[in-house]
A and B are shown apart, each in its own frame.
Chain A
C-alpha cells in the first residue's frame, strides 16, 4: 500500500472532492418539492421560478449542516486518533458529545427554542471538554494522554447521568419526545443562518488542526519524544484538543448526536492517504462530509418520515467499519 500513497495522495483527494461535489449536487437536486434541474440551476443565480428558489432555500441549509457536521466529526476523530495513537478514539473521547447532548436536553427541558438549544449544546460540549482537560491537568500524571482518556470517560459518564435526570424530569408528552428526537440527530433542523453560524467554529477548529499538521505527528510519538524533538507538548496538545472540541460541539449543536462518522471516516481515509496528519485530517473531513451526505439522502429516502441520522449513521457506519476492518486485516 504505502509505496503508492505518495503518488495516490493528491489524486485521491481530487476524487474525494469530486465525489463530495456530486453528493452535494444530488442533495440539492432531489426532494419532495419537484423542481427540474434547469430551474434549480437558474435559481442558483437568482433567476429561477419561486418553486425552485424555495427548494434551494430549504435544501441548502440541510446540505450545509450535513457537510459541516460530517467534516467536523471526522476531523475531530482523526485528530484524536492521531493524538492518542488509538484507532478507537472518537470525537466523544473527552465527553464532548455527551456534554453537548446534556446541554441541549437541559435547554429543551427549560422550554428553550431551537437556537437556544443549539447554543446550549455548543456550550455544554465545550464545558465538558474543558472539565475533562482540567481534571486531567490536576492528576499531573506522566503521560498526559491516559489521564485525558480517563477524565473524558468520567465527564462523559457524568453528562450521561445528567441527561438521565433531565429525562426523568421531562414532561412525557411533549418534552421527552423532543429531547429524544433531538438526541437522535437530524440535519434538517437547522435554518440557513444556524448552519452558517455552526460553520465558524468548525472552520476555526479545522484551520487549527491543519496548521498543527506535522506537530500532531510529533505529539503522537509521546510527550518525551515531543520534548526531545524541541516541541512543547502540553500547549500544542491543548490547542489540538480545543480545536477538536470546537468542531465536535458545533457538529452536535447543529445536528444532534451523530455517531460513527468520527470513527469510520479517519479509518477509511487512512487506507487511502496514510497516517500523516497533514494528509489524514483533510482526507478524513472529506470522507466525513461524503458519509454525512449519504446518510442525509437515506434519511428521507423511505417516505416522508425522516429516519434520524444518528440511527442511520450507526446502521450504515457499523457494517461499513466491519467491512473496512475485514478488508484491511486480510490485506495486511
Chain B
C-alpha cells in the first residue's frame, strides 16, 4: 500500500454567516505502517481534520491523496447498535459486498478471527449496546481489522477506557499499523503520543508534525495546551 499524502490541506467548516473555522494548511506524507498521534486542545479541530482526511467533510483547500479506502472511527459511545458484536464486526466487509445479497461466510469468519485476536471472542453473540465502552471499542477496532482499509482514522480511541482496556486498544492500534495500514489517532493521552511514530499537534494557530520527542517537549506542550504539565494531563503518567 502506498502512502497517504496531504497537500496544503486546509481542513475546516464553512459557517453560515460568520467566520469559517479553518485550520492552518497542512502538508503531510504518511507511510504505510505508521502510527501518527494527533494531539491538541479541545476544540482545536482534531475531529474536523480526521473527518476531512476520511472524506466525510470536504476540505476548504488543498488535496488529500488516499492510497485506498479510508475507515473512520468516531469517539467511544457514538456507535450504537442492537445486533451482536460479531455482526457489527462482520459489517466491516460491507463495502466489499456492495452488490452481493448478503455477507459471505468468510466475512463472519474474519470477524470471529478479529474478535479472537483482540481477545473479545466471548462477546461475539452479545448485543453491542450491552457491552461496556472498552469492550465496544475493541469490537469496533476488530471491525477495522475486518474492513482492512488502507488508512484508519480513530477519534479519541482511548477516551473513557480503564487502563487495561486502554492498553489492549493501544496494542490493537499498533497491530493495525503493523499490517501495513496507516493509522491516525487523536488522543489526550500523551504517553500514547509519546509511543507513536509521529505526533501531529494542532495549536491555536499552527499545525506541526514532528517526532514525539520534539512535539512533547515541555515548551511545545506548553505552547500547545497553555499549561505546565509534569506528566500526562489526563492520567498524570510521566512523559518518557
Residues of A within 8 A of B (CB): 2-3, 5-6, 85, 211, 213-215, 217-218, 220-222, 224-225, 227-231, 270, 274-276, 278
Question: Which B68-102 residues have a C-beta within 8 angstroms of A?
Answer: 69-74, 79-84, 87, 90-92, 94-98, 101-102
Question: Quick check: B71 and A228 within 8 Å, CB to CB?
Answer: yes
Which B residues lie at the A interface, using CB under 8 A? 51, 54-56, 69-74, 79-84, 87, 90-92, 94-98, 101-103, 125-127, 147
Residue of A at shortest CB range from B153?
A: A228
Q: How far is the CB of B68 from chain A (nearest CB, A)?
A: 11
In chain B, what residue has the closest Cβ to A1? Answer: B127
Taking the closest CB of chain B, its distance from the CB of A226, in whole angstroms, is: 8
Distance (whole angstroms) from the CB of B126 to the closest CB of chain A = 6
Shortest CB-to-CB span from B109 to chain A, Å, is 14
Q: Is the CB of B101 within 8 A of A276?
A: no
Give 29 pairs: A residue, B residue, CB < 8 Å, sorted on A.
Answer: A2-B125, A2-B127, A5-B125, A213-B101, A214-B87, A214-B91, A214-B94, A217-B81, A217-B83, A217-B91, A221-B81, A221-B91, A224-B72, A224-B74, A225-B74, A225-B79, A228-B70, A228-B71, A228-B72, A229-B94, A229-B147, A230-B94, A230-B96, A231-B98, A274-B83, A274-B84, A275-B82, A276-B87, A278-B102
A228 to chain B, nearest CB (A): 4
Q: Are A3 and B83 in contact (CB under 8 A)?
A: no
A264 to chain B, nearest CB (A): 17
Give the distance to chain A from B57, nearest Cβ to Cβ, in Å: 10
Contact A218 B71 (CB under 8 A): no
Pairwise interchain contact A227-B56, C-beta atoms closer than 8 A: yes
**Which residues of B are found within 8 Å of A3, using beta-carbon distances?**
125-126
- B140 nearest CB neighbor, chain A only: A225
Residue among B51, B98, B126 with most chain A CB within 10 A: B98
A224 to B51, CA, bound (A): 9
Return the contact of A214 from the options B54, B72, B74, B103 (Cβ within 8 A): B103
Q: How far is the CB of A144 from chain B (nearest CB, A)?
A: 14
A275 and B83 contact, Cβ closer than 8 Å, known pairs A2-B126, A2-B127: yes
A228 vs B79: C-alpha distance when bound (angstroms):
12
Residues of B within 8 A of A221 (CB): 79-81, 91
Residues from chain A with a CB closer than 8 A to the CB of B71 are 228-229
* Residues in B neighbouring A224, C-beta threshold 8 A: 51, 56, 72, 74
Closest A residue to B107 using CB positions: A214
Beyond A5-B125, A218-B94, A274-B127, 12 additional pairs, beta carbon < 8 A: A2-B127, A213-B101, A214-B91, A214-B102, A217-B87, A221-B91, A224-B72, A225-B79, A227-B54, A230-B98, A275-B83, A278-B102
Contact present for B55 and A227 (CB under 8 Å): yes
Sorted from nearest, which 9 A-B pairs have the closest CB atoms?
A230-B95, A275-B82, A275-B83, A228-B72, A276-B83, A229-B94, A3-B125, A218-B94, A213-B102
* Residue among A217, A222, A228 having the largest count of chain B Cβ atoms under 10 Å: A228
A228 to B152, CA, bound (A): 10
Distance A180 CA – B69 CA, assembled complex (angstroms): 56
- Distance (whole angstroms) from the CB of A3 to the closest CB of chain B: 5
Q: Are A229 and B55 in contact (CB under 8 A)?
A: no
Contact B84 A2 (CB under 8 A): yes
Chain B residue nearest to A224 in the complex (CB): B56
State whether A231 and B87 are in contact (beta carbons under 8 Å apart), knowing that A213-B101, A225-B79, A278-B102 are contacts in the complex: no
Report the Cα distance A6→B125, complex, angstroms: 8
From the candidates A217, A231, A275, A278, name the one contacting B95 in the complex (CB within 8 A).
A231
**A231–B94 CB distance below 8 A:** yes
List, in ascending order, chain A residues with CB within 8 A of B98's CB: 230-231
Q: Are B82 and A218 in contact (CB under 8 A)?
A: no
- Whole-angstrom distance between the Cβ of B108 and the nearest chain A Cβ: 11
Are the C-beta atoms of A85 and B80 separated by less than 8 Å? yes
Give bound CA distance, A230 to B90, whole Å.
Answer: 13
Residues of B within 8 A of A222 (CB): 79
Q: Which residues in A have their C-beta under 8 angstroms from that of B51?
A: 224
CB distance from A68 to the nearest CB of B (A): 24
Instruction: Report yes or no: B56 in contact with A228, Cβ–Cβ below 8 A.
Output: yes
Chain A nearest CB from B159 CB (Å) reads 18
